[in-house]
Structure 1
């Protein structure tokens, strides 16, 4: 199975995948020209993230029960800091 995760107007990358039952979770990042944002998708649909950052990256995800966790890093005043 193959599918598009973005609208093809922006560069994007994926970094991890997890399959739980019939659901497929994917983490990654999308580059909008000036900003880089961490992203998560469930069955090809982007999940909302509460992240207030101009440069952050989703690296790994984990699913436990009904909770989905995303780990990554963001640029904080020129230094990359680990986040989850």
Structure 2
């Protein structure tokens, strides 16, 4: 995971990076050309309800969404992509 910060006035970040657990879970990696803004990808990743309907993806929710301070998270697993 890569985190980026940009401030037009060269200011420091106004938030701390979250602590992420180290697991032995399989992590999929894929590179592709994106015709859009990367922010849309990140916002849609936590909107797990749209994955089966829009992308025809089998989905298993491992942890329901929860909020802790400024961090919103959900853990899910894409089981199969129906093309």
Give the TM-score category using the shorter length. under 0.3
TM-score, length basis structure 2: 0.28
TM-score, length basis structure 1: 0.27
More helix by share: 2
